[in-house]
Amino acid sequence: MVSAEPLVLIVDDETPIRRFLRASLAGEGCRVAEAATAAEALEKVASLRPDVVVLDLGLPDRDGSEVIREVREWSQVPIVVLSVRDRENDKVAALEAGADDYLTKPFGVGELMARLRVALRHGSAAGGGAEEPVFASGDLRVDLTRRQVFVGARELRLTPIEYKLLAVLVKNAGKVLTHRQLLHQVWGPEYGDENHYVRVYVAQLRHKIEEDPARPRYLRTEPGVGYRLVSE
Amino acid sequence: MSEPRRPDPDELLARVQEEETRKTQGRLKVFFGAAPGVGKTYTMLAAARALRADGVDVAVGWVETHGRRETEALLEGLEILPRRQLSYRGTRLEEFDLDLALERRPTLVVVDELAHTNAPGSRHAKRFRDVEELLRAGIDVYTTLNVQHLESLNDVVAQITGVTVRETVPDAVLDRATEIELVDLPAEELRKRLAEGKVYVPEMAGRAAESFFREGNLIALRELALRRTAERVDAQMQRYRHEHAVRATWPTAERVLVCVGPSPYAIRLVRAARRMAARLQAEWVAVYVETPSHLHLADADREQLERTMRLADQLGAETARLTGGDDVEEILAYARRRNVTKLVVGKPAEPRWRTLLHGSFVERLVRGSGDVDVFVISGKPEDDVAREPVAGRTHSRWPAYGSAGLAVALCTLLAALLAERLALANIIMVYLLGVLVVALRAGRGPAVLSSVLSVAAFDFFFVPPRYTFAVGDTQYVLTFAVMLAVALVISNLAARVRDQAEAARAQERRTAALYAVSRACASAGETYEVVRVAGRHLAEVFEGQVAILLPHRDGRLKVAFSADAAFALDPKELSVAQWCLDHAQPAGLGTATLPGSAALYLPLLVARGAVGVVGISRGRAALDSERVHLLEAFASQIALAVERTNLAAQAQVALLLAETERTRSALLASVSHDLRTPLAAIAGAASTLLRDSGSLPPETRRELVQSINDQAGRLNRFIGNLLDMTRLEAGAINIRKDWQPVEEVIGAALGQLEGRLAGREIRTRLPDSLPLVPLDTTLVGQALVNVLENALKYTPPATPIEISARVEGTWLIVEVGDRGPGLAAGEELRVFEKFYRHASEDGQPGAGLGLAIAKAVAAAHGGRITAANRPGGGAVFSLALPLGGPPPELPAEARRDATIT
């Protein structure tokens, strides 16, 4: 259940960023707590139990992925990381350490709120909420219980791997998934570097679900990071 | 005609240069004496003490007091440098420590016994070389020398005293001394001191010493020493006159020429010539004529000749080698060419028959000499005992002699077949033809043999009574004599022609090698090429191990070329080469410096110093001076080529720097414009909003906020480009290639531009069969974004943008086409230059970096990007990336549908 006024913990060492986030999040109806260092962040996650954490990866005292890994040992609180362009490796590391999503600086408030909403929804789902059995986004409709996929009224025929891939994406709709995460969940944990498997099947899937596979509407590429199934 | 002769300008220039070097070099003072025991060391130390008292920084490098108390007393209070300890074959030896003295750098160093020979393992073989190095380092030196150690007087002293002294000092060292102080003691007093045991005589034992110190000897030695000093004073006087332009008698230019040969007694000739030249203050030249017979010289003779030429060189002579068939003619021609006034030759021990046949060498020389004076110096016959017998050479020539016998047998056979039809006189012709062939093919010796055999065979087989050596008619004896004489003359002439041809060929080979090197060097563009080409030629011509070493940036030598030169890897050898480079002088095997090395090192000299070193080794054998001269010629060619390529490389670096400088200023101009413009807009809008007290209409406020947002986006893109460019150029980006579907990369790029593509018609044409391509998705994505942005910026909003991809051979081609105004002529390449902007740019943002980044990305992938105008209007940018072989396989999946139908 998303509380009426979710508590957002902002972790960033830059005062101007914290000031801007505090103002805009308050304007969107959130309560805001702040931390400037990793140590302070860990302490506040434990004591304040926020509904979502916005974590800057460039903290002065500790590496962002490490902080995430430590939090994940005792908390499933959704974490959205902030990073700059050209640090794709950091983003992938943070996501694989357990972060829920990422945002590239500079970003707009609209983008931030969209990410936070997805994170909050998944957070509450993980906290016991039942999963929707039918996913719908635009013309795309996936019925997980009956293993059926429709675009508009047309039903699609998918191979087992295509379907499994789509199912994993549907369960994480709105969230970014790295190549490795997809590989592990679809092919199994013994796979690690065969990122091109994912790419080839994503391409196949696009040809089936997208109107123009070169300008995908549902299955979007996050360059250098992974894929995201858009939930509308 | 009474006009005074003025000093020649060249001479003045030379003197000025000499004075310059005198200023930077140390001053040498020699305490010169007639014999041991005259008190040189004592006088020298007294002088050093006097300087010390005046506050001059004096250090004693080496003094031998031989336990004399009054000398030792003088050493008190003077700084004495520790001696270098070394061990040689188990004995501990002490030597003057040159490095210590150089490091200590006093104003004056006292070094006794200039003629001393250093222990093996020292840097220089002779102490006077140590002293020369001190002088070059700008340190003054006091030293002592006895007259019998002077090179040019060495033999005279030996004649007078009967004692040969081995340790000698070249006269040039004494001539270079700034000051000579004669320490003189009358003979009687010296003998008295000797009797009192005050003289230490190291080199001679009892009786020899006694004979050396005979009064008559001492008087003669004293005279020699006085005369040598007087000669020098005379030279100083001349110098003074020159300097002060005193009108006086200028000596006519005399030039002495000494002819030397391979005889050991040629050394006497050289010394005599040097004395004569010194007295006349004349230049002198030592000349050797290389006749064809030089080719047959025994190795020992060759070496003797080299020793003689080296000595002449050391004594200050110019040396020359002439080649030609007739030594007398060559010498006379050379003498006339060089305006020689006096000729010095030896009295040769020629065989009498030869003198009768050719005329004596000296006689012919005198006859042809004209107004040149000829001095004939006699040699002691026992000097020749040292000559080693010619050996070994005949050994390998047995087949040649065999062929002589064979030729005569063939001639006999031929003559026997024709005997019926030929007169006896014509049979002789057959034999003479045989002799001629043998002479041309096998040389002189076999030809002589065949001459004798021919006469014998002719007698035996053809002259009646046949098959005996007996002769019926005595007039045949005359026939035999003439036949033999003719055969011998033919042999001699033919053999000489052959030898001359051989000498010419050898000379030609050397010239050709030198020419080949200079041509190869001239065409080589880079230093390493010069070194490689030259090194290969050297190894070929000298048939030895060759290494060329060039200094690294820190001045240490590094091997740049090596033809199996194992010695170049030895650190000891490297230090010899380094010395050669630092001092710009030859070192190593066969030189006076570090002769214990495995190789000879010659500096590659150019005007500003040594640019490298060439090292050459032919086992343990030293190179003869002819080869050394050739090597020097090679070295100077290589040096010039190395210097040329070095300078070219420097010019290239300078050009690059200028290019970088230009790019940097373009960057600065662009950065200041592209950063400040959006910043100004943001700051302006923000300050307007801040000052607003509610009077601004809501639309205006919204416009201002929109402007802040847009400009921030523009700033972000520009900084992103700038960072990309910098990192690509610095090579800081790791290309992370992964097998990618092209469609995805294009899709991602379009996704990034989503907001700005609104309303544009985008047509994509991607065949389903496109393979996976290895590429860095972020970089190629960025390149595509930049190309698309470019199209968006420069084409009208109503026109479409087309994206297509296809495979061509081993390339993937991605094309972005537009229907805009297209490219102006010549823009196809310039659009990819950094900071290049379209000429008609009307306030479009962007720093002209986007396409440059796309180009860098393509290059980083081993591909390329080009721009062209399309048929039907507009421009097309095509990015070509290598396919990189077959894509990886995917595990087969059962084509079974997973979804329930």
How much is the pTM?
Answer: 0.46
Region B175-184 average pLDDT: 85
Single-letter residue type at A178: T
Look at residue B3 and tell me whether its pLDDT is greater than 50: no
Question: Looking at residues B794-808, what average pLDDT do you find?
Answer: 91
For B690, residues 6+ apart whose C-beta sits below 8 A from its C-beta are none
Is residue B267 in a domain?
yes
**Residue A199 to residue B896, Cβ atoms within 8 A:** no
- Let me know if B716 is exposed, middle or buried by CB neighbors in 10 A (0-12, 13-18, 19+): middle
What is the C-alpha separation between A224 and B880, in angstroms, rounded? 21
**Residues present in chain B in total:** 901
pLDDT attached to residue A35: 93
Q: Is B741 in contact with A200 (Cβ distance < 8 A)? A: yes
- Give the range with max mean pLDDT: A166-175, B151-160, B600-609, B824-833: A166-175
Q: Which residue has the tokens 């020097």?
A: B632
Q: How far apart are CA B500 and CA B492, in angstroms?
A: 12
Per-residue pLDDT band for B901 (boundaries 50, 70, 90) equals very low
* A44 min Cα distance to partner chain B (Å): 33
Give the residue-averaged pLDDT of B812-835: 85
Q: Is residue B688 situated within a structural domain?
A: no
Q: Map out the domains of chain A with their CATH numbers.
A: 7-126 (3.40.50.2300), 134-229 (1.10.10.10)
pLDDT score recorded for residue B246:
45
Last residue of a domain, one of B587, B609, B643: B643
Give B119's pLDDT tier (boundaries 50, 70, 90): confident
The better pLDDT of the pair B845, B117 is held by B117
Does any domain span residue B700?
A: no
Query: What does the pLDDT read at residue A209?
Result: 92
- CATH number, position B632: 3.30.450.40
Q: How confident is the model at residue A220 (pLDDT cuts 50, 70, 90)?
A: very high
User: Which residue among A196, A214, A216 places its CB closest to the CB of B772?
Assistant: A196
Q: Which helix (H) or strand (E) holds B653?
A: helix B625-691
What secondary structure, in 3-state letters, does B547-593 show? Answer: EEEEECCCCCEEEEEEECCHHHHCHHHHHHHHHHHHHCCCEECCCCE
Residue of A nearest to B746 (CA): A214
- Tell me the residues of B at the A interface, defined by beta carbons under 8 Å apart: 709, 712, 716, 720, 723-724, 727, 738-741, 743-744, 746-748, 750-752, 762, 764, 766, 768, 772, 777-778, 781, 803, 887-888, 890-891, 893-901
The listed range with the strongest mean pLDDT (A164-173, B191-200, B634-643, B851-860) is A164-173
B664-690 residue pLDDT tens? 776 677 677 778 888 888 988 898 888
Residue B21 has a pLDDT of 67
Given pLDDT bands bounded at 50, 70 and 90, which one contains residue A67? very high
What confidence tier does B144 reach under pLDDT thresholds 50, 70, 90? very high
Q: Quick check: B720 and A85 CB within 8 A?
A: yes
Percent of chain B with pLDDT over 90: 8
C-beta atoms of B778 and A203 within 8 A? no
My answer on whether B236 and B132 are in the same domain is yes
* pLDDT computed for residue B622 by the predictor: 59
| Top-confidence residue, B611 or B16 | B611
| Position B270 confidence tier, pLDDT thresholds 50, 70, 90 | confident
Say whether pLDDT at B407 is over 70: yes
pLDDT at site B850: 84
Nearest chain A CA: its distance from B895 CA (Å): 6
Q: What are phi and psi of B55, to 5 degrees?
A: 95, 10
> What pLDDT, on the 0 to 100 scale, is given for residue B844?
52
- Looking at residue B872, which CATH number applies to its domain? 3.30.565.10
Instruction: Quote the mean pLDDT of chain B.
Output: 80
pLDDT (0 to 100) of residue B621: 60
Average predicted confidence (pLDDT) for chain A: 87
Q: What pLDDT band is residue B381 in, cutting at 50, 70 and 90?
A: very low
Chain B contact present for A198, CB below 8 A: no
| Per-residue pLDDT at A8 exceeds 80 | yes
Together in a domain, B420 and B381: no
Residue B168 has pLDDT above 60, yes or no: yes
On chain B, the residues whose CB falls within 8 A of the CB of A199 are 739-741, 744, 772
The single residue listed with the structure tokens 């809501």 is: B698
Give residue-wise pLDDT tens across range A86-128. 678 888 999 999 999 999 888 888 888 889 988 888 776 654 4
A165 contacts in B (CB within 8 Å)?
Answer: none
CB-CB under 8 Å, B772 with A200: yes
> B841: distance to nearest CA of chain A, Å?
28
Q: How far is B608 from chain A (nearest CA, A)?
A: 52
pLDDT band at A9 (very low <50, low <70, confident <90, very high): very high
Q: What distance in Å separates the CA atoms of residue B222 and residue B217, rounded to the nearest whole number?
A: 8
A149 touching B (Cβ < 8 Å): yes
Residue B473 has pLDDT above 90, yes or no: no
Q: Do B890 and A200 touch (CB under 8 A)?
A: yes
Domain of B165, CATH number, reads 3.40.50.300
B239 shares its domain with B264: no
A148 → closest Cβ in B740, B888, B900: B900
For A159, the closest chain B residue by CA position comes to B897
- The answer to whether B278 touches B231, Cβ cutoff 8 Å, is yes
Confidence grade of residue B383 (pLDDT, cut at 50, 70, 90): very low
Do the beta carbons of residue B256 and residue B284 sit within 8 Å? yes
Q: Using the predicted structure, report yes or no on whether residue A68 has a pLDDT greater than 90.
A: yes
pLDDT of B841 strictly over 60: no
B378 falls within a domain: yes
CB B221 within 8 Å of CB B249:
no
Here the tokens at position B457 are: 């065979």
Cβ count within 10 A of residue B705:
13
* Rounded Cα distance, B852 and B859, in Å: 11
Q: What is the 3-class SS of A119-174, one letter each residue?
A: HHHHHHHHCCCCCCCEEEECCEEEECCCCEEEECCEECCCCHHHHHHHHHHHHCCC
Kindly indicate the confidence band of residue B812, based on its pLDDT and cuts at 50, 70 and 90.
very high
Residues B361 and B292 grouped into a single domain = yes
The C-alpha atoms of residue B875 and residue B129 are separated, in whole angstroms, by 78
Where is B286: in which H helix or E strand? strand B283-290
- pLDDT at residue B877 above 90? yes
% of chain B beyond a pLDDT of 70: 86
Query: Measured between CB atoms, which of B716, B777, B896 is closest to A223?
Result: B777
Pick from A22-26, B64-68, B341-345, B707-711: least confident: B64-68
> What pLDDT score does B8 carry?
62
- The answer to whether residue B718 is domain-embedded is no
Does position B388 have pLDDT exceeding 60, yes or no?
no
- The answer on pLDDT for B403 being more than 80 is yes
Q: Would you call A227 an interface residue with chain B, using a CB distance cutoff of 8 Å? A: no
pLDDT at B393: 38
Instruction: Provide, as residue numbers in chain B, all residues whose Cβ is less than 8 Å from the Cβ of A88.
Output: 778
The pLDDT of residue B391 is above 50 = no
Among B366, B386, B406, identify where a domain stops: B386
Cβ contact A214–B895 (<8 Å): no
Lowest pLDDT segment from B28-32, B138-142, B244-248: B244-248
Of A108, A212, A221, the CB nearest to B748: A221
**Based on the domain organization, do B201 and B278 belong to the same domain?**
no
Residues on chain A touching B741 (C-beta within 8 angstroms): 199-200, 203
Does residue B277 carry a pLDDT above 50?
A: yes
CATH code, domain carrying B293:
3.40.50.620
Number of domains in chain B: 5
Contact list in B for residue A220 (CB cut-off 8 A) is 751
CA distance B896 to chain A (A): 6
CA distance B892 to chain A (A): 11
Q: Specify whether B874 is located in the same domain as B751.
A: yes
Check CB contact under 8 Å for B747 and A214: yes
Cβ neighbours, 10 Å, residue B601: 30
What's the pLDDT at B879? 94
**Do the chains contact at A203 and B743, CB–CB below 8 Å?**
yes
Distance (Å) from the alpha carbon of A167 to chain B's nearest alpha carbon: 11
How big is the CA angle at A37 (ends A32 and A39), to the nearest 5 degrees? 105
Nearest alpha-carbon partner for B803 in B792, B789, B818, B782: B818
Per-residue pLDDT tens over the stretch A49-60:
999 999 998 888
Which residues of chain B have a CB within 8 Å of the CB of A111?
none
**Contact between A217 and A205 (Cβ < 8 Å):** no
Q: What is the DSSP code (8-state) at residue B293?
A: G
| pLDDT(B846) > 60 | no
Contact flag B738-A158 (C-beta cutoff 8 Å): no
| List of E strands, B162-201 | 179-183
Which of A180, A215, A218 is most worth mutating to test chain B (most B CB atoms within 10 A of its CB)? A215
What single string gives the DSSP state of each residue in B317-338?
-EEEEEE-S-HHHHHHHHHHHT
**pLDDT for the residue B853:** 86
Nearest Cα of chain B lies from the Cα of A128 at a distance, in angstroms, of: 28
* Total length of chain A: 232
Q: Which residue of B has its CA nearest to A156?
A: B899
Query: Is A154 at the interface with chain B, CB within 8 A?
Result: no
Asked if residue A4 has pLDDT above 60, the reply is yes
- Say yes or no: B421 and B296 in one domain: no
Q: Is residue B146 part of a domain?
A: yes
Asked if the structure places residue B705 within a domain, the reply is: no
pLDDT in the model for residue B814 = 94
Task: Determine whether the interchain pair B743/A162 forms a contact, defined as Cβ–Cβ distance below 8 Å.
Answer: no
Minimal Cα distance from B896: which residue of A?
A159
User: Residues of A with CB below 8 A from B893's CB?
Assistant: 159-161
CA distances from A192 to A164, A172, A184, B298, B886 (A): 17, 20, 7, 81, 21
* Residues B267 and B202 occupy one common structural domain: no
β-strand pairing of A176-178 with A154-155: unpaired
**Smallest Cα distance from B778 to chain A, Å:** 6
B37: closest CA among B223, B164, B222?
B222
* pLDDT at B895 > cutoff 60: no
B90 and B227 together in one domain: yes
Both B331 and B444 in one domain: the answer is no
Domain boundary among B221, B243, B265: B243
pLDDT band at B531 (very low <50, low <70, confident <90, very high): confident
Which range (A133-137, A215-219, B295-299, B507-511) has the least confidence? B295-299
CA distance B209 to A74: 107
Which chain A residues touch B752 with a CB distance below 8 Å?
223
Query: B550 φ, ψ to 5°?
Result: -120, 145
Verify cis geometry, omega within 30 degrees of 0, for the bond prior to B465. Answer: yes
Identify which has the larger pLDDT, B26 or B472: B26
Q: Which residues contact A46 (CB under 8 A, 6 or more apart)?
A: A74, A75
User: Do the beta carbons of residue B115 and residue B128 sit within 8 Å?
Assistant: yes
Q: What is residue B207's predicted lDDT score, i.e. its pLDDT? A: 60
- pLDDT (0 to 100) of residue B544: 79
Q: Residues B213, B259: one domain?
A: no
C-alpha separations of B184 from B44, B147, B156, B217, B660 in Å: 13, 12, 20, 15, 73
Do B754 and B855 fall into the same domain? yes
Residue ranges making up the domain that contains B742: 733-882
Q: Which of B744, B888, B898 sits opposite A203 (nearest CB)?
A: B744
Please give the pLDDT value at position B160.
78
Above 50 in pLDDT, residue B384?
no
Question: Do the chains contact at B778 and A147, CB–CB below 8 Å?
Answer: no
Half-sphere exposure of B778 (CA within 13 A, CB side): 16
Q: Does a structural domain hold residue B878?
A: yes
